[in-house]
Structure 1
Amino acid sequence: MSYGIFQDFYNSSWSFNGNQSSTGVIGTTFNGIVYISMPLLFAALAKRYASRRKSAALAGSALTCLSYLLAAFSTDAWQLIATQGMLSAIGSGLIYAACTLSLGEWFSTGNRALAYGLTLSSKNIVGSACPFLLQYLLMHHGYKTTLLIWSALTLLTSLAAILLMPSSTPHSPTSTTNHHPSPSIPWHFLKHRTFYIYSLAILLQSSGYGLPQTYLTTYAHSTGALNPTSATLLLTLFNLPGILSSSFFGWLSDIHDKFSSQQQQHTARRTTTSSSSSSSAPSLRSALTTPISTTLLSSLSTSLSAFLLWGLAPRSNLALLVLFSVIFGFFAGGYSGTWAGVVSEMEGEAAAHNESLDSGVVYGLLNGARGLGYVVGGLVGLALLAAGQEKSDSLVSGGNGYATEYWAVILFTGISTVFGGAGVFIGGGKMWRKMRVMMDF
């Protein structure tokens, strides 16, 4: 989440062989590989190799540490991509999958979405604190020393977290809908459209989400109005709101589950008009906190901030760029906090069809959709930036983001994130009708 600092450093102090612009894919490639590997890792560690999760996490820690050591001694652009972008992603994916599966089983009921949200918030804490640390190290100690220090910090912090992982997992009543779970993974959910609708929405949203993380500091620095410290502040403010938003959207998903249970109880008892009116409040609140509602809230707010604040903000106006960083970071950062609600909805769908569902595997596949989005966004971002550089000189002179070489990147960010919510709204007709039924009670 702090790769933008390295990208800005590469732009201003390039000393490697190869094309400097190719380093723009490192951040999105890292995110893409981490998330794309999730379906395979979650499927393997969910049942068959569940007892080896801690070993997998330790191996991931070693790989991540090694990747930064190798990156410190890289001399070519392709080596940076292979180490910072690929090898470190494989190691990080092993750590993430092992820890997340254990978390989902220990918080399998009640506050599971909030637990996921709090965990996701931790990455925003790192993303908020590390930009200034990395900038200081790069400016005063150079690239090689910075990566050596980062490698040591990664090893120490990951080992401390892995040692706290439980060696065994409790019985998870929601990981499957029957009382005698099979050792094999149930794939019945692939027959239902719900999984595909949300997966496509996540892919679209993620393809735009990663671009400001990569290019915002470079954009702010290249306009000439912001110094490196101010540009770093933007990345920090981009990550900082996610500390709250991931937990907030997770909390919304949890209260939806609670209100849905209340609605079922009220509906069962509803025999008079008075009892009908007493059930309207929880029904309305349940409708407003469905995965559809929270996904739309996150996506539309994210898109509007890109179109209006990044695109229309005067280049030299730090205040509006700060506002963009905060709003975009809050709503886009909270998007993944809705996934536990998606899993809960699919668990309810599986129960209605008397089918089994492994929630860990589903969560891993949703992460895989995000990974594809990151990779697509990274590749498209390079092409859009190149196109913007070719046409920016012919644009009508103006003082906002649309008059810079980043105009196409800004438009793609806004369009892809809005479709991340609109896809659920349009494609999920059955789910939308269900939400309206909730509001009618």
Structure 2
Amino acid sequence: MLRILSASSTPQLPQLSQLNGHASSLEKRIWVLLGFPMTYGIFQEYYTTHWTFKGNPSAAGVIGTTSNGVIYLSMPLLFAALSRRWAHHRRASAYAGLVLTSISYLLSSWSTAAWQLVLTQGVLAALGSALLYSPTTLTLSESYATHNRAVALAVVLSAKNITGSVCPFLINYLLSHHGFRTTMRIWAGLSGALALAAVFLMPMGSTTQTRPFRARKIPWTFLTHRTFWIYVVAIALQSSGYGLPQTYLNTYAHDVAHASAATSTLLITLFNAPGILSSSLFGLLSDNKHVRLSASTVVAISAFASGLSAFLLWGIAGSGSHSMALLILFSIIYGCFAGAYSATWGGVLKEMEKEAGERNEAIDSGMVYGLFNGARGVGFVSGGLVGVQLVKVGGEHVLGKFGYGTIYGPLIVYVGLSTCMGGWSVFLKMGRLFRW
């Protein structure tokens, strides 16, 4: 008999409405700790104008995307370990992550070289964040019924946008009035305290207790499914471009549009704020409760809308009088659609579970979700490395006028193309429909 090893296997599940408040409260505290890569554009601009470290200043351009990459790349391993065999170590993992992240941010305040910033902020702090995020996400996702899972995951993901909307102003104030080193020490203390509160709120269900019988093995048959690899490639492509505006938009506004520090900070807030609502909206679309759309269609809406906004808004925002208006509009639209991309994965999981059911196969949705995050990590890391090179190329070759004619021109084109490619699955579905 088919066994879907997902949230639906947890007995006596509470209703979605009873859990939203608890999940949101817990995840907002978790995302404060993970909020560093989301608001890294503020640090990027500060490093650019106040570079006092040994080494190439271009290293600052890869810290934010490296941090995102390490977080997501480590999730497949952590989800696999904490999903079954070592589920009873979830709280210990969360505590270890809390300590590692806080210490890493603290140590970064004494950095004197670029490689030390990359190590502490981009690698160690990110690894600690993953150790904290993975067990809490697994525990929460097991508390929801299958038919509500997409909405539940979307509500959880919207919490990161709340953090990304508030923290830029806090970080900008601290950097402006207290400098980099004091800011990192305050951030280490603040994030550590809030994360500690989150661990205490972490529910402990039956899956986190030691069982007297052997834990079930993870079924890997989904790796032979074409659908899985289609979405893995799409996620990696979209993620390689998604993180670049978060890193470079602040610097672009300062260098090209000659915006003030406060206005540049506003762009990061506008980048994250729309996702608070759009993540939940795309979660509803993915659950197919009111509007019947396939998973590939929902993914394509998010991907194409965000990619076109990069081409049509960021690309024509040069140094003219209307440049800031275009950048603000780009931040809102791109943040709305690109920020909700991962909220579409609930529908993808449902599609994969349906395929597994048709083949009478078992599938561990938690493990699939972890691998999707791993693909996102591959995209973030590769995008960060590519972004640095694209800015260098932009300084040597002019692509045209407006934003395309600046050193950020190749970067803008890459963001548009990669995010659009995140929706390529819809063309494969259309090909099958019309037998192309």
Query: Counterparts of 2:403 and 2:55 in 1: how far apart (Å)?
Result: 29
Query: Counterparts of 2:154 and 2:194 in 1: how far apart (Å)?
Result: 20
- Does residue 352 (structure 1) correspond to residue 354 (structure 2)? The answer is no
Are the aligned partners of 2:257 and 2:318 in contact in 1 as well (CA < 8 Å)?
no
Query: Counterparts of 2:338 and 2:188 in 1: how far apart (Å)?
Result: 28
The amino acid of 2:403's aligned partner reads: G
- Aligned residue for 2:53, secondary structure, equals coil
How far 1:110 sits from its partner (Å)?
2.5
- Does residue 244 (structure 1) correspond to residue 243 (structure 2)? The answer is no
Q: Which residue of 2 aligns with 1:381?
A: 387
The amino acid of 1:221's aligned partner reads: H
Query: Counterparts of 2:145 and 2:217 in 1: how far apart (Å)?
Result: 19
Deviations 1:390-421 (A, max 9, x none): 224xx65x4x1011000000000001111111
Query: Counterparts of 2:53 and 2:397 in 1: how far apart (Å)?
Result: 28
Deviations 1:29-48 (A, max 9, x none): 00001001111010000000
Q: Which residue of 2 aligns with 1:318?
A: 324
- Does residue 69 (structure 1) correspond to residue 102 (structure 2)? The answer is no
Deviations 1:292-341 (A, max 9, x none): 11111001101110000000123342111100000000000000000011
Deviations 1:243-281 (A, max 9, x none): 111111111112x2x57xxxxxxxxxxxxxxxxxxxxxx
Q: Which residue of 1 aligns with 2:267?
A: 234
Counting only pairs closer than 5 Å after superposition, residues 398-409 of structure 1 correspond to structure 2 as 398=401, 400-409=402-411
Are the aligned partners of 2:154 and 2:279 in contact in 1 as well (CA < 8 Å)?
yes
The amino acid of 1:355's aligned partner reads: E
- Aligned residue for 1:226, secondary structure, equals coil
How far 1:169 sits from its partner (Å)?
3.9
Query: Counterparts of 1:147 and 1:140 in 2: how far apart (Å)?
Result: 13
Are the aligned partners of 2:257 and 2:324 in contact in 1 as well (CA < 8 Å)?
no
Q: Which residue of 2 aligns with 1:338?
A: 344
Query: Counterparts of 1:115 and 1:337 in 2: how far apart (Å)?
Result: 9
Q: Which residue of 1 aligns with 2:41?
A: 4
Q: Which residue of 1 aligns with 2:165?
A: 128
- Aligned residue for 1:37, secondary structure, equals helix
What TM-score do you get using the length of structure 2 for normalisation? 0.87
How far 1:429 sits from its partner (Å)?
5.5
Q: Which residue of 1 aligns with 2:78?
A: 41
Query: Counterparts of 2:225 and 2:430 in 1: how far apart (Å)?
Result: 13
**Which structure has the larger Rg over C-alpha atoms?**
1
How far 1:433 sits from its partner (Å)?
3.7
Query: Counterparts of 1:339 and 1:315 in 2: how far apart (Å)?
Result: 38
Q: Which residue of 2 aligns with 1:137?
A: 174
Q: Which residue of 2 aligns with 1:271?
A: none
What TM-score do you get using the length of structure 1 for normalisation? 0.86
Q: Which residue of 1 aligns with 2:202?
A: 165
Query: Counterparts of 2:205 and 2:254 in 1: how far apart (Å)?
Result: 49
How far 1:225 sits from its partner (Å)?
2.4
Structural RMSD (CA): 1.9
Query: Counterparts of 1:164 and 1:22 in 2: how far apart (Å)?
Result: 37
Deviations 1:41-89 (A, max 9, x none): 1000000011111110111011110110110011000000000000011
Work out which of the residue numbers 297, 302, 309 in structure 2 matches 1:305: 309
Q: Which residue of 1 aligns with 2:422?
A: 420
The amino acid of 2:416's aligned partner reads: G
List alignment gaps of at least 5 residues for structure 2: 1-37
Query: Counterparts of 2:130 and 2:207 in 1: how far apart (Å)?
Result: 23
Are the aligned partners of 2:256 and 2:318 in contact in 1 as well (CA < 8 Å)?
no
Query: Counterparts of 2:317 and 2:112 in 1: how far apart (Å)?
Result: 38
- Aligned residue for 1:128, secondary structure, equals helix
- Does residue 50 (structure 1) correspond to residue 87 (structure 2)? The answer is yes
Q: Which runs of 4+ in 1 moved over 3 A?
A: 427-430
Change in 2 beyond 3 A, CA 1:196/1:181: farther
Greater alpha carbon shift after TM alignment, 326-335 vs 153-162? 153-162
The amino acid of 1:84's aligned partner reads: Q
- Aligned residue for 2:285, secondary structure, equals helix
Are the aligned partners of 2:139 and 2:204 in contact in 1 as well (CA < 8 Å)?
no
Work out which of the residue numbers 86, 111, 115 in structure 1 matches 2:123: 86
The amino acid of 2:124's aligned partner reads: L
Change in 2 beyond 3 A, CA 1:108/1:358: farther
Query: Counterparts of 2:151 and 2:214 in 1: how far apart (Å)?
Result: 25
Deviations 1:86-130 (A, max 9, x none): 001101111111111112111132311111111111111111101
- Does residue 106 (structure 1) correspond to residue 139 (structure 2)? The answer is no
List alignment gaps of at least 5 residues for structure 1: 172-179, 260-284, 437-441
- Does residue 96 (structure 1) correspond to residue 133 (structure 2)? The answer is yes
How far 1:181 sits from its partner (Å)?
11
The amino acid of 2:228's aligned partner reads: F
- Does residue 216 (structure 1) correspond to residue 253 (structure 2)? The answer is no
Query: Counterparts of 1:64 and 1:343 in 2: how far apart (Å)?
Result: 30
Deviations 1:192-249 (A, max 9, x none): 1010001100011001101000000000000152111111111110011111111111
Count of aligned residue pairs for this structure pair: 392
Q: Which residue of 2 aligns with 1:296?
A: 300
Q: Which residue of 2 aligns with 1:188?
A: 221
Query: Counterparts of 1:224 and 1:250 in 2: how far apart (Å)?
Result: 35
Query: Counterparts of 2:207 and 2:278 in 1: how far apart (Å)?
Result: 29
Query: Counterparts of 1:215 and 1:366 in 2: how far apart (Å)?
Result: 25
